[in-house]
Structure 1
Amino acid sequence: MRAPTASLEPLRERPFRLLFFGRGLSAVGDAIVPVAVTFAVLRHGNATDLGIVLGAQWGARVLFLVAGGVWADRLPRQLVMMAADVLRAVVQAVIALAFFTGSVQVWQLAVASALFGFASAFFNPASTGLVPSIVSAKKLQEANALLGLMRGLTEVAGPTVSGLIVATLGFGPVFAIDSASFIASFACLAAMRLPRDLQRQEGRSVIGDALEGFRLVLERRWMVAGLCADVVSNLALAALFVLGPVVAKQHFNGARDWGFVLTGGAVGGLIGSAIALRYKPQRPLFVGYALGITFALQLLGLVPPLPLPALIFGNGIVFAAIVILNTYWTTMEQQHVPPEALSRVDSLSWVASLVVFPVGLVVVGPIAAVIGVRSTLVLASGLAALAVVIALSVRDVRELRRIELPQTDELLLTAPEP
């Protein structure tokens, strides 16, 4: 058993410590914005407007994610992240000012959401690619788990804090806080003092770089199998978010009790990060995908629904499993993908999930209208189980091992051939 302080070892390395606190501060701002955006749009518009505003951010992120990954591999990732922070800070400051002056309009919120999604499409792949260069290779999983733990903490408290701020001070302060959080993140990144090594490969187009990233994904059977499993699983996840509230309305106390179920999931995510911080299996993806069976069981637990405490507990287990798998996946990417291509490969892996999930949100309702809520939930449970089978049926997923290195190894990890 490792000493408890071993899990916090990445924080002893100054560059990662700065990244951790910078991302933590920006996560605080991000966690309070969704509630404010939702109710601000509904105050100044309607449900259709809300869909447009939320879709603008989602669509911009999906549209530019691959480009973000390519440029994060070409340019110093630290600078890409700083540029994204500047854009997001300015956008949120402008929206805050619009609220303070009483001049906000729905179209402004939609444009701001699109710009926010655009910036995130560059920041997130750059961040994934930056971590292996600022953390000792032996501490990668702990570093990823710590970032997830910080994000989970803000997601648990964020909606409640946002509601209190909106109720007492209005919408403007929420966006002002978010803007300030990105300025803090920028300052932390600027303080890293990393070598600014231009990574661009001369003579290759953006499309060429993207295709190279796609080739690297196809060469790794564990990635292909895992992404196929994730696509199927995310379709099932859409059923949970669409039909879960329907079940809560029909059998429990509606929004209040569904809120309890979601809170259980958020707490479970925190627990999952804590587990990933300490538990380092030799075959991480085998463990991570095997845990996916809990999702299939949770969906069956809605048909007919188990008692509310069981659903809350089950949702906690499901989201703990999701966070554990995500942490293991990111660590395996960082260990087994060449550092110079890590950001674009990571962006490609996210595109599949980000595209299929909203499709699932759209089609679940009509399917349930035709075959019924219970039958749709059973079907979704079958998809969740199928995702586990898809992943674990591939030997490379079952047998992919973490790279164990002596504590004295260098920060940068040279990825092995697939």
Structure 2
Amino acid sequence: MRLADSWEALREKNFRWLFIARTISLTGSSMAPVALAFAVLEVGSAKALGLVLAGRTIALVVFLLVGGVISDRLPRRLVLIVSHVATALTQGAVAWLVITGHATVASVLVLECLNGAVSAFTLPALQGLVVQVTPTRLLQQANALMSFARNGTLIIGPALAGLIVAGPGAGWALAFDALTYAVAALALARLAIPPLARATTSMVRDLREGWSEFTRYQWLWVIVVAFGVLNAIHVGGWMVLGPYLATQHPDTLGERGWGFVLAAESVGAIVMTLVLMHWRLRHPLRLGMVGASLFAVPLVALGVAPSAALLVPVAVVAGAGMEVFGTGWNVAMMENVPAQAMSRVSSYDMLGSYLAIPVGTTVFGVLSTVADARWLAGTAGLVYLVICLVTLALPSVWRLERVAASEPVDESAEQPTQGG
């Protein structure tokens, strides 16, 4: 493939508008954690911040399956526009309260819970819409482009938020986040896609059908179960033990060194997205699980020698590997799961991921008080590697190949399915 063809997905008008909308909203989303943290700390304590973040995540988890059903029932473009407007309103309300000095922990908590509930509709709808606006042959490239936008904004957004918080204040950074969602809603309004043909059934039946579709593919549910553990290790072992060990080894790692390590991980992911725009993954899950297994390396390295000099290069490799998994996973789902069930299946997938976050942070937080953190990190890395290799050895994971297709997804008919 020529280098110029790496951007072919952007020639598709609908995908181009979706990409523009997602990039704009991600810019605001990447700023939100920094802005929200300082906004809450202005009116409360670290305990209050933890309560707000937990409340938002819980609301997201509670409504995630409902969001999947609604996104498969209604036009996903409409679901995304409404959810973006709702996000702009809730985040804008938090910004107004902070700017005017009327914010309280309780008011911010309520609004962020609403914001989390709205995200439960945004994410499944987005996953399903990518399939509708992208020709099958360009799904890998489209997912790589989406990842490029996400990883790029994760580098730019926090830095921009820090500048705004240090200047006008946290409220204005939150206001900018709200504005990005309003602008993204306008971009989504430019999409022109026919609705999918769906039968009207009860929500309970829709959930059962989604679950049936989710469990239909062995490779799908096995990987989701595996990543329920892997994500807990990733979040807990890396994001809890990493900062802790950074403070315990200021000469070799420290807070600044840990920041470089996290940045290196994002750099590796961004570089890999560029590669994946023109390198076809013939076996998306085989290569994806190999890529995911590379994250065991920085975990083990964190336990063996908490040093920025060692962790930065291995974090680049791990970030690239995780990007291979992310793109391969999305492509495998989008090529094999029927378009009419994509949002529901995605919501079950996301549920496993989000449930793992509080589990991982809690478990590793407790373990770090009774065991040596370096030993925990090294052991976590070995367990991570074993789980990846066991999952990789499953025939349905190892053998799954790309669907050979060159036409756009037929949005008015059922997609062909393949068993895992």
Do the two structures share a fold, i.e. TM-score over 0.5?
yes
Local SS of the residue matching 1:369: coil
TM-score (norm: length of structure 1) = 0.95
Q: How does 1:232-381 map to 2 (within 5 A)?
A: 232-237=229-234, 238-252=236-250, 254-305=254-305, 307-381=307-381
Quickly say closer, same or farther: Cα 1:198–1:401, change in 2 above 3 A.
closer
CA separation in 1, counterparts of 2:361 and 2:393?
Answer: 28
Letter aligned with residue 231 of structure 1: G
CA separation in 1, counterparts of 2:408 and 2:246?
Answer: 52
Quickly say closer, same or farther: Cα 1:9–1:362, change in 2 above 3 A.
same
**Number of residue pairs matched by the alignment:** 414
Counterpart in the other structure of 2:194: 195
Letter aligned with residue 414 of structure 1: Q
Q: How does 1:21-100 map to 2 (within 5 A)?
A: 21-100=20-99
Native 8 Å contact 2:131 2:409 kept in 1: no
CA separation in 2, counterparts of 1:216 and 1:411?
Answer: 19
Matched, 1:226 2:227: no
Letter aligned with residue 33 of structure 2: P
For each residue in 1:304-356, what CA deviation from the matched residue of structure 2 results, as whole angstroms up to 9, or x when unmatched? 31541220121222122222211111111111001110100011011111102
Native 8 Å contact 1:61 1:118 kept in 2: yes
CA separation in 2, counterparts of 1:303 and 1:101?
Answer: 46
Q: Which moved more, 1:355-364 or 1:93-102?
A: 93-102
Q: Which moved more, 1:121-130 or 1:210-219?
A: 210-219
> 1:365, CA displacement in angstroms?
2.0
Local SS of the residue matching 1:370: coil
Letter aligned with residue 296 of structure 2: A
Counterpart in the other structure of 2:154: 155
Quickly say closer, same or farther: Cα 1:99–1:303, change in 2 above 3 A.
closer
TM-score (norm: length of structure 2) = 0.95
For each residue in 1:149-190, what CA deviation from the matched residue of structure 2 results, as whole angstroms up to 9, or x when unmatched? 011111011111111111111122212211111111111111
CA RMSD, Structure 1 to Structure 2 (Å): 1.6
Q: Which moved more, 1:367-376 or 1:75-84?
A: 367-376
Native 8 Å contact 1:88 1:116 kept in 2: yes
> 1:244, CA displacement in angstroms?
0.8
Letter aligned with residue 194 of structure 2: P
Counterpart in the other structure of 1:415: 416
Native 8 Å contact 1:368 1:375 kept in 2: no
Native 8 Å contact 2:141 2:276 kept in 1: yes
Native 8 Å contact 1:132 1:411 kept in 2: no
Letter aligned with residue 236 of structure 1: I
Q: Which moved more, 1:5-14 or 1:300-309?
A: 300-309
Counterpart in the other structure of 1:9: 8
CA separation in 1, counterparts of 2:93 and 2:227?
Answer: 37
Native 8 Å contact 2:266 2:316 kept in 1: yes
Letter aligned with residue 247 of structure 2: K
Quickly say closer, same or farther: Cα 1:410–1:23, change in 2 above 3 A.
closer
Counterpart in the other structure of 2:394: 394
Quickly say closer, same or farther: Cα 1:151–1:9, change in 2 above 3 A.
same
Native 8 Å contact 2:9 2:142 kept in 1: yes
CA separation in 1, counterparts of 2:30 and 2:301?
Answer: 29
Local SS of the residue matching 2:193: coil
> 1:89, CA displacement in angstroms?
0.8
> 1:212, CA displacement in angstroms?
1.5
Q: How does 1:68-147 map to 2 (within 5 A)?
A: 68-147=67-146
Q: Which moved more, 1:303-312 or 1:107-116?
A: 303-312
CA separation in 1, counterparts of 2:353 and 2:213?
Answer: 18
Q: Which moved more, 1:190-199 or 1:373-382?
A: 190-199
CA separation in 2, counterparts of 1:320 and 1:417?
Answer: 28
CA separation in 2, counterparts of 1:396 and 1:117?
Answer: 34
Native 8 Å contact 1:264 1:313 kept in 2: yes
Quickly say closer, same or farther: Cα 1:372–1:148, change in 2 above 3 A.
same
CA separation in 1, counterparts of 2:223 and 2:176?
Answer: 37
Native 8 Å contact 1:235 1:380 kept in 2: no
Quickly say closer, same or farther: Cα 1:117–1:183, change in 2 above 3 A.
same
Letter aligned with residue 67 of structure 2: G
Q: Which moved more, 1:320-329 or 1:141-150?
A: 320-329
For each residue in 1:84-115, what CA deviation from the matched residue of structure 2 results, as whole angstroms up to 9, or x when unmatched? 01100111221222223221112222122111
Native 8 Å contact 2:269 2:323 kept in 1: yes
Letter aligned with residue 226 of structure 1: I
CA separation in 2, counterparts of 1:198 and 1:219?
Answer: 21
> 1:376, CA displacement in angstroms?
1.3
CA separation in 1, counterparts of 2:96 and 2:386?
Answer: 49
Local SS of the residue matching 2:175: helix
Gaps of 5+ in 2: none
Letter aligned with residue 17 of structure 2: L
Local SS of the residue matching 1:126: helix
Local SS of the residue matching 2:294: helix
For each residue in 1:65-84, what CA deviation from the matched residue of structure 2 results, as whole angstroms up to 9, or x when unmatched? 11101110011100011110
CA separation in 2, counterparts of 1:116 and 1:279?
Answer: 37
CA separation in 1, counterparts of 2:377 and 2:214?
Answer: 32
Local SS of the residue matching 2:227: helix
Native 8 Å contact 1:285 1:398 kept in 2: yes
CA separation in 2, counterparts of 1:221 and 1:198?
Answer: 27
Native 8 Å contact 2:265 2:315 kept in 1: yes
Local SS of the residue matching 1:402: coil
